[in-house]
Chain A
Amino acid sequence: MLDINNIGVSFGGVHALSKVTFTMPDKGISALIGPNGAGKTTLFNVITGFVTPKEGTVKFSGEDITGSRSEQVFLKGISRTFQNLNIIPELTLRENMYLGFIGKEKPSALATMMRFNRGYWKETTKRINDCLDFVNVTEYADMTPGSVPYGVLKNFELGRAFMSSPKLLLLDEPAAGLNLAEKENLAGMVRKIQSMGICILMVEHDMQFISSLADFVVCLNFGQVIAAGTYAQVRENKDVLKAYLGDEDA
């Protein structure tokens, strides 16, 4: 599904990513882990076209998407969420959901303004309601984000990305800031999305969350891949233990 081949990114003299190479399986949930500053989000930005690597290639379903603009990457079937919630404060959650599909479906502005395509919007409203229901935020749908709990907003972001019908969904720290019950609820939704045939790659720090979900794990440290495999394999890797716990000799 996703081939990352020899990716290198530098910001000035800082090597954020260096020779990063791995192949993500065609199915299931994969996770990208590593200490702070390891380059996880930078790699997400490379995949989604926000950062152009100085070397290497990114292939999605066999197609080279290196250097493609974010809009093009999205249209090829890759959606993402961000570490910081990108929910517009002055719009209700239902209105915020529009972002999930208008970029792909591009409904006619004139026809919509003149209300000629009522059928399309009726059908879309149903899809929005279904999606809000899917991520358990229906009761908050007509509220603005300021009056909605953080956990609900995280679910909403996942739902909005799902609304865009992606082939690959990138989740940047989906469980950050959630309590145990909210994490379990989120994990259930992630599994449900995956069972619909959508591939998921997530950046996450919560190892319990990852262990319960991920089939394939890649660990980055200082911009380099130090381990890749199943969660159990990566957990036992000495370099990974050193990256997280420090060097015994130090």
Chain B
Amino acid sequence: MKRLNFTFLVLMACVLGYIGTQVTNEYYIGVATLLLIHAVNATALNILLGYTGIISIGQAAFFGLGAYVAAVLSTNYGINPLLTMPIAAAAAFVLAYMVGSPILKLHGNYLAMATLGMGMILYIFMNEMDFITGGPSGFVGIGDIIIGKFDLADEKSFFVFMSIIFMVFLLVCELFDKSFLHNKLKFIKNSESACRSYGITPARTKVMVFASMAALTAFNGAIFTFYTHFISPVSFSFKYSVELLAMATVGGLGYITGGVIGAVLLGLVPEIFSAFEEYEMIIYGGLLAVVIMFLPGGIAGTLKRLVKRNA
């Protein structure tokens, strides 16, 4: 059994602890919360693409599904927000399992197109089923998460809540990365025929991974709902799926640290280059091109190689 990457875990805990205790500007705390949400989504996509070889351009749809399920259940049916999160995750799991079973027989560009199609269909539902979702005008009036006597209404308390969720998520990802499951997924990514000849059923494993990551993304979508208190389909469009893909790739496919690095780096792009908002996608594209051409393995992969070389 490999040792966990405690350096990374402790570093993340320190950074989050510093932001939680020392940063007082609510805007910056809000940006940090959104970066954590992006990091969870990008890492989930990284496990799909970087570990298992499943390219998904429909992750934003699962994020949106989770957000809408949580919003509708808590606002229209008065269900406790904390309860809506696992329900949202379960709904996404079931949907992804049903969709994944046929489409994961495809590979490469065909699979990308199929997931894109699935994302577009869900996006259209979010827009057109306005009697449930509020349509393009969005869903308003979403309440707060209340844990005991703590109402997570302000930026700081929500950041602390998200930080705890994020650290638990990172720890689970590290445990996964250092277990044989990591190797099993990489075997599937590299050679399905070799896996089959050694008793592994790639189809079943791929569907389970796809559904699990959809559930995780939907759970995160539910958290996003209670953070923003307003959701509209624009947040869950094709553009966000591409952003997640860019985050995972730039950060480093096949590395748990990759999703986090990519999310922080690209998540900060709109903040740093806010004056050039319309050129945001060009900046994303440029970064993506540079990483693919000059940094195989992304930033995390390059850092790992440098550390190894100097060790």
Is A14 in contact with chain B by the CB < 8 A criterion?
Answer: no
- A106 and chain B: residue at smallest CB distance: B199
Contact yes or no, B198 A99, CB < 8 A: yes
A98-B179 contact, Cβ under 8 Å, with A71-B201, A80-B197, A118-B1:
no
Is B186 in contact with chain A by the CB < 8 A criterion?
Answer: yes
Is B194 in contact with chain A by the CB < 8 A criterion?
Answer: yes
- A111 and chain B: residue at smallest CB distance: B179
Contact yes or no, A113 B176, CB < 8 A: yes
A79-B183 contact, Cβ under 8 Å, with A115-B1, A115-B175, A118-B1:
no
User: A47 CB to closest chain B CB, in angstroms?
Assistant: 11
Question: Within B182-239, which residues are at the interface with A (CB < 8 Å)?
Answer: 183-184, 186-187, 190-191, 193-201
Is B254 in contact with chain A by the CB < 8 A criterion?
Answer: yes
Is A107 in contact with chain B by the CB < 8 A criterion?
Answer: yes
Is A91 in contact with chain B by the CB < 8 A criterion?
Answer: yes
- A50 and chain B: residue at smallest CB distance: B193
Contact yes or no, B190 A88, CB < 8 A: yes
Is B180 in contact with chain A by the CB < 8 A criterion?
Answer: yes
A113-B254 contact, Cβ under 8 Å, with A71-B199, A74-B197, A74-B198:
no
What's the dominant secondary structure at chain B's contact region? helix
- B191 and chain A: residue at smallest CB distance: A86
Q: Which chain A positions have C-beta within 8 A of B183?
A: 88, 91, 95-96, 98-99, 102
Q: Which of B180, B181, B197 contacts A48 (CB 8 A)?
A: B197
Q: Which chain A positions have C-beta within 8 A of B195?
A: 99, 103
Is A70 in contact with chain B by the CB < 8 A criterion?
Answer: yes
Contact yes or no, B200 A109, CB < 8 A: no
Is B172 in contact with chain A by the CB < 8 A criterion?
Answer: yes
- B194 and chain A: residue at smallest CB distance: A86
User: A198 CB to closest chain B CB, in angstroms?
Assistant: 16
**Alpha-carbon distance between A22 and B126 when the two chains are bound, in angstroms:** 62
Is A28 in contact with chain B by the CB < 8 A criterion?
Answer: no
Q: Count of chain A residues with Cβ under 8 Å from any Cβ of B?
A: 33
A91-B186 contact, Cβ under 8 Å, with A86-B191, A113-B179:
yes
Q: Which chain A positions have C-beta within 8 A of B175?
A: 113-115
Is A178 in contact with chain B by the CB < 8 A criterion?
Answer: no
User: B36 CB to closest chain A CB, in angstroms?
Assistant: 22
- A104 and chain B: residue at smallest CB distance: B199
A90-B198 contact, Cβ under 8 Å, with A112-B180, A113-B175:
no
Q: Which of B181, B186, B193, B199 contacts A103 (CB 8 A)?
A: B199
Q: Which of A79, A88, A91, A102 contacts B197 (CB 8 A)?
A: A79
- B199 and chain A: residue at smallest CB distance: A103
Is A69 in contact with chain B by the CB < 8 A criterion?
Answer: yes
Q: Which chain A positions have C-beta within 8 A of B196?
A: 49-50, 69-71, 74
A107-B197 contact, Cβ under 8 Å, with A90-B254, A113-B172:
no
Is A150 in contact with chain B by the CB < 8 A criterion?
Answer: no
Q: Which of B181, B187, B193 contacts A109 (CB 8 A)?
A: B181
A-B contact pairs, 17 of them (CB 8 A): A70-B197, A71-B199, A71-B201, A79-B197, A79-B198, A82-B194, A86-B190, A86-B191, A86-B193, A88-B186, A88-B190, A89-B190, A98-B184, A102-B200, A104-B199, A113-B179, A164-B199
* A-B contacts besides A88-B186, A113-B175, A113-B181, 12 pairs, CB < 8 Å: A69-B196, A71-B196, A91-B183, A95-B183, A99-B198, A100-B198, A102-B184, A102-B200, A107-B180, A113-B172, A113-B179, A115-B1
Binding site for A on B (CB under 8 A): 1, 172, 175-176, 179-181, 183-184, 186-187, 190-191, 193-201, 254
